[in-house]
Amino acid sequence: MTREQIPPLMGTAPQVSAATPRLIRRLKAAGRFALVIFLTYLGLLAVTFFIGRVIPVDPVLAIVGDNAPPHVVARVREELGLNQPLAAQFTVYLGKVLRGDFGTSVLTANPVMQDIRRTFPATLELASLGILLGAGLGVPLGVWAAVRRGSWVDQAVRIIGLVGYSVPIFWLGLMALLVFYARLGWVAGPGRIDVAYEFTLTPVTGLLLLDTAMAGDWEAFGSALAHLILPASLLGYFSMAYISRMTRSFMLHELAQEYIVTARAKGLSEARIIWRHALRNAMVPLVTVIALSYAGLLEGSVLTETVFSWPGLGLYITHSLQNADMNAVLGGTLVIGSIFIALNLLSDLLYRLLDPRTHLR
């Protein structure tokens, strides 16, 4: 990337034509980018597809059950095209995907994209609130720990991080339910919303907070929030643990740099040095860490979703994989792949905002 950004030497080309090579360069870069994305998708699909076909699970079993008579098994195998060679199966699948047809999930009997449209908002809502909490608390905590390195603050943050990092989430989830739902009654239990609202609400975006707010149904909004807050806090805690550790280490690195000494020598206030100088530089790698954490959450947290009976993407894909429901798995993988690509792109763009050296000229 750096090579094509080297500006043409002043004066070697007249001002008018300077725009043309730049445009071509940009087009080339865009083309290369598109090619990379295309190959990424192709690779993703190919690997998932072949793994799905070599795992020792018979997909027909998931459809017809264990007790089905053999002729039914044989017919369904043929209907699914499983009696054809792998390469042929893959080509057929690719052709359909290119036409926008992701197939039907055998487990839910729905088109895969319809299922994903239903499960993804649940995960999106959970993950977004989770990462807001995680980054919102994790970054300041990490900065604080770095600045007070070795003090009780640092130790406390380290312990919080260690616990968040090492305690199994399903156990912590159950404990949190026990304390905050069963004992204290501060939050609502598992599920996305109280049963009473289940059928009064017509999903528009699938994000319940947004849907209820748009409908002006504040009671339902409260119910959705009460259900969301606990699992989101839990996910937030886990990403906070990671983000605070990373922030601390990036900050320590920056605080040891010479420009900090210079800033101090100039007599800048400590707050300004930490937040404007050191953190701004630490933000560059941090953006990637946060983006990847977010992508990880969007992939769906199977265990959290299981404990909280949260009908999200992680549960959907895991359940599909266990039953060799490959259309669903492939569709889900594509969506997750897109999330990673989009978030990578986003963090690249943020880099450019944060780091003047990578500015396009």
Partner 1 sequence: MNRFTEKEFILAKKFFPLTRRLLCASAAALLACHAPAALAATPKDTLVIAFSFDDIITLDPAEAFELSAGEIMGNSYDRLVRLNISDPTKLTGDVAKSWTVSSDGKTYTFDIKPGLKFASGNALTAEEVAYSLQRAVSLDKSPAYILAQFGFTKDNVKDKIKAVGPLKLTLETSQAFAPTLVLNCLSANVAAIVDQKLLQSKAQNGDWGAGWLKTHYAGSGPLKLREWRANEIVALERNALYYGEKSRPARVIYRQVKESATQRLLLEKGDIDIARNLSPQDIAALAGNASVKLASAPKGTVYYISLNQKNANLAKPEVREALKWLVDYSAIGETLIKNIGVVHQNFLPLGLLGASKETPYKLDVAKARALLAKAGLAKGFKVTLDIRSMQPLQGIAEAFQQSAKRAGIEVELIPGDGKQVLTKYRARTHDMYIGQWGADYWDPHSNADTFTRNPDNADSAKSKPLAWRNAWAIPELTKKSDAAMLERDTAKRQAMYEALQADFRQTSPFIMLYQETEVAAYRSNVEGLKLGPTFDSNYLFNVAKR
- Taking CB under 8 A as the criterion, the residue among 51, 78, 322, 359 binding partner 1 is 322
Between 174 and 204, CB nearer to partner 1: 174
* Residue 10 beta carbon to partner 1: minimum distance, rounded to whole angstroms: 46
3-class DSSP state of 289: helix
Among 120, 144, 181, 250, binds partner 1 (CB under 8 A): 181
Instruction: Give the integer Cα–Cα distance in Å for 24 and 7.
Output: 14
Residue with smaller CB distance to partner 1, 278 or 347? 347
The 3-state DSSP class for residue 188 equals: coil
The residues in 112-141 that bind partner 1, with binding defined as CB under 8 A, are: 115, 118
User: In this complex, which beta carbon is closest to partner 1, that of residue 167 or of residue 260?
Assistant: 167
Taking contact as CB under 8 A, which single stretch among the options 53-61, 85-93, 206-214, 254-262 is the one that binds partner 1?
A: 53-61
Name the amino acid, one letter, at 78.
E
The answer to whether 130 and 242 are in contact (CB under 8 A) is no
196 is an interface residue for partner 1 by CB under 8 A: yes
DSSP string of 119-186, one letter each residue: HHHHHHHHHHHHHHHHHHHHHHHHHHHHHTTTSHHHHHHHHHHHHHHHS-HHHHHHHHIIIIIIIS--
Write down the least CB distance from residue 255 to partner 1, Å. Answer: 25
Measured at the CA of 262, the angle between CA 259 and CA 266, to 5 degrees, comes to: 140
Interface with partner 1, residue 108, by CB under 8 A: yes
Site for partner 1 in 252-291 (CB under 8 A): none
Scanning 80-88, 248-256, 277-285, 309-317 for contacts with partner 1 by CB under 8 A, the matching segment is: 309-317
CB of 177 to partner 1, least distance (A): 6
Q: Residue 144 and residue 16: Cα distance in Å, rounded?
A: 52
Q: Which amino acid is at 175?
A: M
Contact criterion met (CB below 8 Å) for 303 and 170: yes
Which one of 3-11, 109-117, 212-220, 351-359 is the stretch in contact with partner 1 (CB under 8 A)? 109-117
Query: Is residue 49 at the binding interface for partner 1, with CB under 8 A as the rule?
Result: no
Does the footprint of partner 1 cover residue 90 (CB under 8 A)? no
CA dist 306 and 300 (Å) reads: 11
Residue 66 or residue 258: which is nearer to partner 1 going by CB? Answer: 66
Whole-angstrom Cα Rg for the chain: 25
